[in-house]
């Protein structure tokens, strides 16, 4: 590993004398504010992009425009903390513009769980990070691993710009997607990744799609009815290591998932969860995608028999929990040592859409 970061963003902010302002509001901002309070870091103001200010307030402060923020703190070298996520090109262009004009950071806070990616966390688990680095099958995976860890520690977006991958190359070169006929989509959302697979793979014949959120499931089901020449079976359930019911964040957003400690949740309901092994009942599949909002470990364990017996290609999201970067690669290699592991990351700020691909070669 080539990690040259000696401290983390939180310690840096705590020692800084520059005014600290936050770009954006919402759930992500709440999480960042909670960490700042823990470290004694004061947020001086909140701002939004020019044209998006409506006179509202957030955490007791009136939200100002980007132009007003620059004028207010002219000559004071304000530090800007980005507090919302996006993969949209026009929004990413705004992030670049702010980063060229201000000292900008995108703090890494876990989507799920309470473990913060601090320098202490990294050093405590360095041996496990290094072991996973050595397991990665190509130099590009290792380069991305270094960059993602450097970003998570420093909050510097430059490491994300330098670690982006092309989807077509992943589908064609790593997954050899045209060899995929049977596909299990865990966390199918509204069918977006089925659409994506069909864009690159005309040979797909069947999909089993699990989605626990009721609203997302309706959209998924509606999309499934439009897919021609592919048998799409939709199941309104989450992926887990057994068949049971669990509490679920029913807010309807893309990151809704099983409720765990550290979640900030406005609406909760019970949902059924099932194991892949139970669903397949011994039937082989070619590919399983695990993007299940922090439940990847349990979903993988619920696929143990399928993984060990049939060695399907796997995609496991590695960005929901701080531990995912070492714990999920370790688990996959334990379940099936014959897998080669590849890491790729698609355009997103913060470090979302970071995926581990497991392929038996």
pLDDT computed for residue 262 by the predictor: 47
Q: Domain end: 144, 161, 178, which one? A: 161
- Residue 89 phi, psi (nearest 5): -55, -40
CA separation for the pair 38, 11 (Å, rounded): 11
The answer as to whether 143 is a domain residue is yes
Q: Domain end: 161, 183, 200, which one? A: 161
CA separation for the pair 11, 8 (Å, rounded): 6
Whether residues 310 and 176 share a domain: the answer is yes
Chain center to CA of 11: 24
Whether residues 225 and 304 share a domain: the answer is yes
CA separation for the pair 328, 280 (Å, rounded): 22
Q: Which of 297, 293, 361, 286 is nearest to 329 (CA)?
A: 297
Whether residues 51 and 74 share a domain: the answer is yes
The answer as to whether 3 is a domain residue is no
CA separation for the pair 159, 148 (Å, rounded): 7
- Give, for all 361 residues of the chain, the pLDDT tens digit: 999 999 999 999 999 999 999 999 988 999 999 999 999 999 999 999 988 887 789 999 999 999 999 999 999 999 999 999 999 999 999 999 999 999 999 999 999 989 999 999 999 999 999 999 999 999 999 999 999 999 999 999 999 999 999 999 999 999 999 999 999 999 999 999 999 999 999 999 999 999 999 999 999 999 999 999 999 999 999 999 999 988 766 555 555 555 554 444 556 778 899 999 999 999 999 999 999 989 999 999 999 999 999 999 999 999 999 999 999 999 999 999 999 999 999 999 999 999 999 999 8
CATH of residue 46: 3.40.50.720
pLDDT computed for residue 54 by the predictor: 78
| Number of domains into which the chain is organized | 2
Whether residues 220 and 313 share a domain: the answer is yes
The answer as to whether 186 is a domain residue is yes
Domain with 114 in it:
9-161
Say if CB 58 and CB 30 are below 8 A apart.
no
The answer as to whether 1 is a domain residue is no
pLDDT computed for residue 251 by the predictor: 58
Q: Which of 7, 155, 163, 161 is nearest to 81 (CA)?
A: 155
CATH of residue 245: 3.40.50.150
Beta bridge partners of 65: 48
Say if CB 27 and CB 52 are below 8 A apart.
no
Whether residues 133 and 206 share a domain: the answer is no
Whether residues 198 and 129 share a domain: the answer is no
Whether residues 148 and 13 share a domain: the answer is yes
pLDDT computed for residue 52 by the predictor: 81
Whether residues 39 and 144 share a domain: the answer is yes
The answer as to whether 231 is a domain residue is yes
Whether residues 280 and 191 share a domain: the answer is yes
Say if CB 151 and CB 351 are below 8 A apart.
yes
Whether residues 186 and 290 share a domain: the answer is yes
Q: Domain end: 106, 137, 161, which one? A: 161
């Amino acid at each position: 590993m080539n990690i040259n970061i000696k401290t983390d963003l939180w310690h840096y902010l705590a020692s800084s004398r520059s005014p600290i302002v936050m770009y954006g509001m919402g759930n992500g901002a709440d999480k960042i504010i909670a960490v700042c309070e823990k470290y004694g870091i004061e947020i001086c103001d909140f701002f939004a992009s020019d044209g998006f200010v409506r006179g509202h307030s957030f955490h007791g402060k009136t939200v100002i425009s980007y132009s007003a923020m620059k004028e207010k703190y002219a000559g004071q070298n304000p530090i800007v903390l980005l507090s919302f996520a996006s993969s949209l090109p026009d929004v990413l262009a705004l992030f670049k513009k702010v980063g060229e004009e201000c000292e900008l950071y995108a703090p890494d806070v876990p989507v799920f769980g309470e473990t913060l990616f601090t320098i202490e966390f990294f050093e405590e688990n360095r041996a496990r990070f290094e072991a996973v680095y050595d397991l990665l099958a190509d130099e590009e995976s290792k380069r991305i691993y270094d960059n993602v860890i450097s970003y998570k520690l420093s909050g510097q977006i430059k490491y994300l710009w330098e670690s982006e991958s092309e989807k077509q190359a992943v589908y064609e070169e790593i997954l050899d997607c045209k060899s995929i006929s049977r596909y299990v989509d865990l966390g199918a959302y509204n069918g977006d990744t089925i659409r994506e697979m069909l864009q690159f793979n005309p040979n797909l014949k069947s999909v089993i799609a699990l989605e626990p959120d009721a609203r997302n499931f309706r959209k998924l089901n509606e999309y499934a009815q439009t897919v021609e020449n592919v048998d799409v079976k939709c199941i309104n359930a989450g992926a887990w290591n057994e068949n049971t019911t669990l509490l679920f964040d029913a807010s309807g957003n893309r990151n809704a998932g099983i409720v765990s400690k550290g979640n900030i949740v406005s609406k909760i309901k019970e949902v059924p969860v099932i194991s892949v092994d139970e669903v397949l009942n011994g039937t082989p599949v070619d590919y399983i995608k695990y993007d299940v909002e922090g439940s990847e470990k349990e979903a993988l364990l619920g696929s143990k028999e399928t993984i060990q017996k049939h060695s399907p290609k796997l995609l496991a999201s590695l960005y929901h929990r701080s531990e995912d970067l070492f714990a999920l690669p370790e688990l996959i290699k334990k379940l099936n040592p014959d897998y080669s592991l590849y890491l790729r990351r698609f355009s997103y700020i913060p470090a979302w859409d970071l995926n581990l691909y497991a392929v038996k070669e």
